[in-house]
Amino acid sequence: MKSNTENKYAALFEPMNIGKLQVANRVILCAMGGTAPIVDNLYNKNPEQFYMNCARHGAGLIIPGLSILTDKWGRPGWLDEAGDVFRGPLKEFMCQLHEETETKFILQLGAGMGRGLRANFGLTLPYFNYSNAMVAPSDGMPNVFAPELKHRALTKDEIHKLVEVMINSAELAKEAGCDGVEIHAIHEGYLLDQFSISNYNHRTDEYGGSLENRLRISTEMISGIKKRCGKDFPVLMRYSVASKTAGFNKSVLPGEDYVEWGRSLEESISVVRMLEEAGLDALDCDNGTYDSWHWAHPPTYMPQGCNLPEAAYIKNFTKMPVFVSGKMGDPDVALEAVATGKIDAVALARPFLADNEWVSKVREGRVDDIRPCIGCHNGCFGRLTRGLNVSCALNPSSLQEDKYRLKETEAKKKVIVAGGGVGGMEAARLCKLRGFDVALYEAGDRLGGAFRAAATPDFKDDDKKLLAWYDKQLADLDIPVHLNTVVDNELIEKVKADAVIIATGGAKKRIPIPGCDQPHVCDAKEYLLEDRQVGGNVTVIGGGLTGCEVAYTLAKQGKNVSLIELMPDILQVADLCKVNSDMLRDLLRFHNVQVYTGAATKEIGGDYVKFEKDGETSVIAADNVIMAIGYDPRPIEVTVPGVKTYVIGDADHIANLLNSVWGAAEAVNDL
Handedness of CA 485, 486, 489, 490 (dihedral sign): negative
Backbone angles phi, psi at 57, to 5 degrees: -95, 10
How many whole angstroms separate alpha carbon 609 and alpha carbon 599?
12
| Catalytically annotated residue among 9, 43, 51, 190 | 190
Residue 343, judged by CB atoms within 10 A of its CB (0-12, 13-18, 19+), counts as buried
Q: 44: helix, coil or strand? A: coil
> Which string of b and e fits 293-316 if b means at least 16 CB within 10 Å?
bbbbbbbbbbebbbbbebbbbbbe
Q: Decide if 502 contacts 649 (C-beta within 8 A).
A: no
Q: Decide if 250 contacts 291 (C-beta within 8 A).
A: yes
How many whole angstroms separate alpha carbon 266 and alpha carbon 313?
10
What angle in degrees, to the nearest 10, is found between the helix axes of 578-590 and 545-556?
A: 40
How many whole angstroms separate alpha carbon 221 and alpha carbon 229?
12
User: In sequence order, what E strands does 138-244 have?
Assistant: 141-142, 150-153, 180-186, 235-240
Contacts for 257 with CB less than 8 Å, ≥ 6 apart: none
Q: Is residue 207 flagged as an active site residue?
A: no
Contacts for 34 with CB less than 8 Å, ≥ 6 apart: 47, 65, 380, 383, 384, 389, 390, 399
Contacts for 32 with CB less than 8 Å, ≥ 6 apart: 65, 349, 350, 353, 380, 381, 390
Hey, which residues are catalytic here?
Answer: 190
